[in-house]
Amino acid sequence: MEHAEQRKSLTVQGKVVSNAMNKTVVIESLTKSMHPLFKKITTSTSKIKVHDEKNECNVGDTILAVETRPLSRDKRHKLVKIIDKAKLV
């Protein structure tokens, strides 16, 4: 059995880019990596669907999600907490 400290992809932090679906939000997660030869840092983004039971996330929020069993065809993560609420302008 693997522990939380040993697994890298157990928790994901990202910014909410869509909350149009019922009980589902889409977050954008950034990954930075360095090129082995040229030493240039590149950023890549990935979109992840997260289960939001209470529909409490809005676009622009920063959230923390944890990996879980498959909840649907695309959803593999569940909302843990909202780290930073979006500021309304």
Residue range 7-56, pLDDT digits in tens: 566 999 999 999 999 999 999 999 999 999 999 999 999 999 999 999 99
Beta-ladder partners of 48: 27
Q: Is 1 a residue whose pLDDT tops 60?
A: no
State the distance between the two ends of the chain, measured CA to CA, in whole angstroms. Answer: 47
Task: Output the pLDDT for position 86.
Answer: 86
pTM: 0.81
Whether 27 contacts 17, CB under 8 Å: yes
More confident residue, 1 or 44: 44
Q: In the structure, what pLDDT confidence band is assigned to residue 5 with cuts at 50, 70 and 90?
A: low
| Candidate CATH numbers 3.90.1330.10, 3.40.50.970, 2.40.50.140, 3.40.50.10950; the one for domain 11-84 | 2.40.50.140
- Residues 75 and 12: their CA atoms lie apart, in Å, by 13
Predicted confidence (pLDDT) per residue in 53-69, tens digit: 999 999 999 999 999 99
Our CA dihedral for 68, 48, 5, 60, rounded to 10 degrees, sits at: -120
Q: Where are the domains of the chain?
A: 11-84
What pLDDT does 2 receive? Answer: 55
